[in-house]
Amino acid sequence: MFIQTEPTPNPATLKFLPGRTVLDHGTLDMQSPESASVSPLAQALFGVEGVSAVFYGQDFIAVSKASGEWAHLKPAVLGAIMEHYVSGAPLLNHAGAPVDTAEIFFKPEDAETVEAIKELLETRVRPAVAGDGGDITFRGYRDGTVYLAMKGACSGCPSSTATLKHGIQNLFKHFLPQVQAVEQI
């Protein structure tokens, strides 16, 4: 098994590509060892000293570090991923895709705008963000402001504010004049 690695715009996060599907649907963001209890692989990754977060996408695993150098952490992370896939163990301890239970808010009269926002996120934004080892999800819309949650490599990335304000906000304003701002929630 050959696992590729790619840098992300966030220097604290590396993207690992095992060459197979990681999650069939959705994403899974684990920011602590406690949240990793749903996945044997995530538990193993949090066992590597210095690992601070694990994020699963469709075909990648993004691992963030709180301390240490990637030159020292990368072999241990690669070993944990390789060992997991060779063992044949399931990625998750339970069947089915992880469910994002965060509440979404918007006024009923804004439903058409919200659908357009979600469509732009799915077709234009999320694929680009996944390429950088992260994900972005819709959380709400109120008074011309779109509220988004950034996950994976995007969470805590030094360039995430620029991505939101100059990339995503400009995209939304271009296609949806009623959108005035984009904020991270």
Q: For 5-51, what is each residue's pLDDT tens digit?
A: 999 988 999 999 999 999 988 889 999 999 999 999 999 999 999 99
pLDDT number for residue 153: 75
Q: Which residue numbers in the chain have pLDDT < 70?
A: 95-101, 156
Query: Would you say the pTM of this structure is higher than 0.85?
Result: no
Q: What angle do CA 42, 90, 10 make, to 5 degrees?
A: 30
| Domains delineated in the chain | 4-87 (3.30.1370.70), 108-184 (3.30.300.130)
The alpha helices in the chain, defined as continuous H runs, are: 40-46, 70-87, 111-120, 126-131, 160-162, 169-175
